Each structure stands twice: as structure tokens, then as C-alpha cells.
């Protein structure tokens, strides 16, 4: 059952609330101390749930970076506009071929192909909707939603942008600096030939202009986010803060790495958890800045991850199977918290399934921002559910589709699908959250119901706008 505290009525105010959406990159369900990590304490991130709600069944809309972000910023299943796969990589300047999903090789698609990939202009995103409502809008961190002119943040509703366009960027370019630890291992799961550079899509851009950054990147983005809060503290603002952590490369200031030396022997695991310490400290700085300006009670703060940790990395997906790239729970069930003092009861633990698709409609409802110009949203406003105004579950059914990996959840039941491989497995998530026991044979009626639900949803979708590629390195 969900643990509910009495709802609190906030005093009337003429100022509309601010919104900060913090998105971690490849953070597993069990990476935070609030979700069971006993290697490090993430007290600042945990405080978001302590002062608001911690979701135990919070899902991303995809187990992969780009499509997950597309769903979050639009509040719609990204498959509805063909956005099923990554828009680009940016980390592989030496690649010459691509591996298609059938395993065959093809010449790498040209720049024109990548420039057409992104959230189409027919879709409204959180920046566009909030800007139209009079909010000052900003994005700081990893964009990864397209780098053609139609898809750049400064052209899609964000007044201020400090971003890199690709999938990852070096935290620090001087990898031989003795004050830094750079673990040149398991970077993007692609082996030793990965480029340790900050070039092309992974250069830092301020409102579209390339800038040189010598500072540790997580700290640089922290400072730009703090600047945004400082500069716009007297007007309502919406800040989208997609962080570049804890995704590899594992680069961390040595002082954080050494702090865990006696606790964690494995250097990769130590480096990963040291990055979590940095990330927690950075988020703590944002929360403190809100308090400094007296904005902490007037700001809706959301924290979530885009997808789970890859199974090959030191991340912790908690008790769940699978990881990034898969639609098992480890790939799609996320640490997810939200606070808005005086409106969301403090200390609430909510166990009904919710989705990153719900972030936009919840924020819009909190701020009185109209979504009438957007396409029909799949996400829902969670506030009535969190304040006992509405009973039941926000979602009767949730769907996932990423190339050959699919899933549908209804209540306690989840159907995992790999259609091309003829795999269909039914799980009871209440009794088997780790998805170990396939009940397809013993629950044929439930199996058939969920399979039909997924097929009907899948048939309602347009063809995907582009296919995925897996880089093959030049020999």
C-alpha cells in the first residue's frame, strides 16, 4: 500500500511556482541510498523524496537515452512521432560502418541523415509550452534530442541553453591530471578504441555557440544552473537539468575517489560511486540555492533517471533483472522523486506505476500552463493522486517498445516481448519483481489480454522515423 501523509494546504500566493526537472543519465534503481545503496549516502537527492514523494514503481518511457528524453519533454509516447531510437552518438569519430539490427553491416549514414533526426515540429515540448505561458526557460547539460536546426534547444522553446548535443562528453579533458581519476574502462560499452575527446556533438555550446570548458564538467553545469536560478529568481522559471552522470566515462576528482578507498576495493565500482557523491553534492547546491532565495517552497523539483544502468557497468539496478537497452525492470524502472512543499505531502511513498511521461502534465497543472496546443498527452497530472483527491492508479496500462524489446504492464502483470525472436514472458511483479518465473503457460487468459493490448497499441503507431545503428570500428 502507498504510505500517505495528510495533504497540506499552502498559503495563497500570486507567484506561479518554478519547476526544476533533474534527469540523471543511466542511473540504476538501486544507485541512491534511498533505494538501497549502502556504499554511499546520497542525502541531498534523497531529501527530494523525504520532503515530497518517493515513487517505488517509477518508469521511464524507454530503456535508452534519446527516446526516453523525447517522451519526458513531450509527455507523449515517443513512438507516436517515430522517435524510437537514438538520434546520434557523437562518441565515435573513427567509425566507418554501422551494424543494422539484422546484424548486417552498412556504410555509416551521412551527416544529412543525422540532421533530420529529432522531435518533430508538430510536437510541443516542455520548454515551448512553459515559454508560451510566460516562463523563463533553461536547459543545462546533455541534450541528445537532435542537432539539426529544427531540433536545437535554443530553437525549441529554451531561452537559455548550456548543453552538448551528443550522448556523452568528457567530464575533464586533461585525463593525465593527477588531481583527477580517469578510468579508461567500459566507456560506452564499445571497447578501448573509443575516442576520449570532447569534439563534434560533444562540445559544449552556450545558446548555440561553442565554448571551451576547462572546469570539471559536472561542476561547470552546476555553476550554469546556479547562475540561471540567480538571474531569474524574481520571475517564474522552468529549468530542465539533464545531468551527465553517472554515465561513463568514469572521471572524478581524486578527493571523492579517495574518500571511498577503504570502503570499495574495486576501482571501477569506486569510481562510479564517487561520481554519485559528486552528483549528490551538485544537486545539494541547487537545493541550497533555492533556499537562499526563499524559493524552496515555491519550486516543484523532480528527480528521475532516463533509463537503468547497463549490465556491463558498475551501476546498481536494485533487485531487478536486465538493464539499459532492455525492457526488463532493470532497464525501465527508475529512482523517481518529486517535491513541492505545501502541495505534495512530505515523506509520501507511492507504489502505483507512474511514468516520466507524467512529468510535463504534472508540472503544467502545478503552474497553470496550458497544454492545449500540444498533441494529446499520454502522461497524467499526478497531483490529485498524491493528495488523495483521486483514488486508483494513474495508469491502467503502460507500454514500451525499443526495436526488438517490448513490454506492457497492467496492474501487477507484465508481459515482456521480443517479437522477432518469438519470446513472450508473463510476470507477476507483485510476487516476482525480479522477473524470474514465466507464467505464460499457467495464466493464458492474462497472457492473451496483455498481448492483445500491446498489439493494438503497436498497430496504432506510425513507422519509426529511423533505425538504430551500432558502430563498428575501423580496423
Instruction: List residues with catalytic annotation.
Output: 65, 144
Cell for 473?
570500428
Residue with grid cell 513507422, as numbered in its chain = 463
CA distance 225 to 232: 11
Q: Which positions ≥6 away from 92 have C-beta within 8 Å?
A: 190, 194, 195, 471, 473
Buried b (16+ CB within 10 A) or exposed e, 6-31: ebeeeeeeeebbbbbbbbbbbbbbbb
Q: How many CA atoms lie within 13 A of 99 on its CB side?
A: 7
Beta pairing partners, 239? 20, 138
CA distance 311 to 66: 19
Distances in Å between the Cα of 207 and the Cα atoms of 106, 121, 164, 273, 286 are: 35, 19, 11, 32, 21
Q: Is residue 452 helix, strand or coil?
A: helix
Distances in Å between the Cα of 57 and the Cα atoms of 20, 42, 50 are: 21, 20, 16
CA distance 337 to 281: 17
Q: Is residue 65 helix, strand or coil?
A: helix
CA distance 444 to 450: 10
- CA proximity to 407, closest of 62, 34, 14, 33: 62
Beta strands in 296-404, from DSSP E residues, in sequence order: 299-305, 333-339, 348-350, 354-355, 397-402
- CA proximity to 220, closest of 163, 154, 277: 163
Rounded to the nearest 10 degrees, how much is the dihedral formed by the CA atoms of 185, 213, 167, 125? 150
CA distance 419 to 451: 11
| Residue 284 CB burial class (10 angstroms; 0-12, 13-18, ≥19) | middle
Amino acid at each position: 500500500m502507498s504510505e500517505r501523509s495528510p495533504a497540506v494546504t499552502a498559503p495563497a500566493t500570486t507567484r506561479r511556482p518554478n519547476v526544476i526537472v533533474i534527469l540523471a543519465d543511466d542511473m540504476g534503481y538501486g544507485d541512491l541510498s534511498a533505494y538501497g545503496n549502502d556504499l554511499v549516502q546520497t542525502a541531498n537527492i534523497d531529501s527530494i523524496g523525504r520532503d515530497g514523494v518517493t515513487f517505488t514503481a517509477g518508469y521511464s518511457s524507454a530503456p535508452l537515452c534519446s527516446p526516453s528524453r523525447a517522451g519526458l519533454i513531450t509527455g507523449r509516447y515517443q513512438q507516436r512521432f517515430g522517435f524510437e531510437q537514438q538520434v546520434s552518438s557523437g562518441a565515435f569519430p573513427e567509425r566507418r560502418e554501422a551494424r543494422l539490427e539484422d546484424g548486417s553491416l552498412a556504410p555509416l549514414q551521412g551527416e544529412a541523415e543525422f540532421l533530420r533526426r529529432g522531435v518533430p515540429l508538430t510536437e510541443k515540448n516542455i520548454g515551448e509550452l512553459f515559454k508560451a505561458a510566460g516562463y523563463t526557460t533553461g536547459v543545462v547539460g546533455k541534450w541528445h534530442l537532435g542537432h539539426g536546426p529544427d531540433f536545437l534547444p535554443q530553437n525549441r522553446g529554451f531561452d537559455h541553453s548550456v548543453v552538448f548535443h551528443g550522448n556523452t562528453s568528457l567530464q575533464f579533458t586533461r585525463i593525465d591530471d593527477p588531481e583527477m581519476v580517469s578510468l579508461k574502462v567500459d566507456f560506452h560499452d564499445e571497447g578501448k578504441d573509443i575516442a576520449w575527446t570532447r569534439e563534434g556533438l560533444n562540445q559544449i555550446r552556450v545558446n548555440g555557440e561553442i565554448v571551451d570548458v576547462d572546469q570539471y564538467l559536472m561542476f561547470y553545469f552546476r555553476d550554469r544552473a546556479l547562475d540561471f536560478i540567480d538571474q531569474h529568481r524574481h520571475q517564474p522559471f522552468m529549468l530542465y537539468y539533464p545531468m551527465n552522470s553517472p554515465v561513463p566515462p568514469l572521471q572524478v576528482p581524486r578527493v571523492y575517489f579517495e574518500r571511498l578507498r577503504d570502503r570499495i576495493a574495486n576501482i571501477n565500482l569506486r569510481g562510479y560511486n564517487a561520481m554519485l557523491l559528486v552528483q549528490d553534492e551538485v544537486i545539494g547546491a541547487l537545493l541550497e540555492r533555492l533556499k537562499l532565495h526563499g524559493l524552496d517552497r515555491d519550486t516543484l523539483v523532480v528527480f528521475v533517471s532516463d533509463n537503468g544502468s547497463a549490465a556491463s557497468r558498475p551501476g546498481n539496478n536494485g533487485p531487478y533483472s536486465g538493464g539499459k537497452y532492455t525492457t526488463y525492470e532493470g532497464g525501465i524502472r527508475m529512482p523517481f522523486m518529486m517535491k513541492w512543499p505545501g502541495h505534495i505531502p512530505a515523506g509520501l511513498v507511492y507504489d502505483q506505476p507512474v511514468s516520466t511521461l507524467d512529468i510535463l502534465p504534472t508540472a503544467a497543472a502545478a503552474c497553470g500552463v496550458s497544454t492545449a496546443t500540444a498533441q494529446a498527452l499520454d502522461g497524467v497530472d499526478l497531483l490529485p493522486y498524491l493528495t488523495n483527491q483521486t483514488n486508483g492508479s494513474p495508469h491502467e496500462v503502460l507500454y514500451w517498445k525499443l526495436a526488438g524489446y517490448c513490454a506492457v504492464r497492467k496492474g501487477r502483470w507484465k508481459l515482456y516481448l521480443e517479437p522477432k525472436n518469438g519470446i513472450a514472458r508473463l510476470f507477476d511483479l507483485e510476487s516476482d519483481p525480479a522477473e524470474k518465473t514465466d507464467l505464460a503457460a499457467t495464466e493464458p487468459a492474462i497472457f492473451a489480454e496483455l498481448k492483445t493490448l500491446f498489439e493494438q497499441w503497436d498497430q496504432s503507431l506510425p513507422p519509426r522515423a529511423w533505425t538504430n545503428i551500432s558502430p563498428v570500428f575501423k580496423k
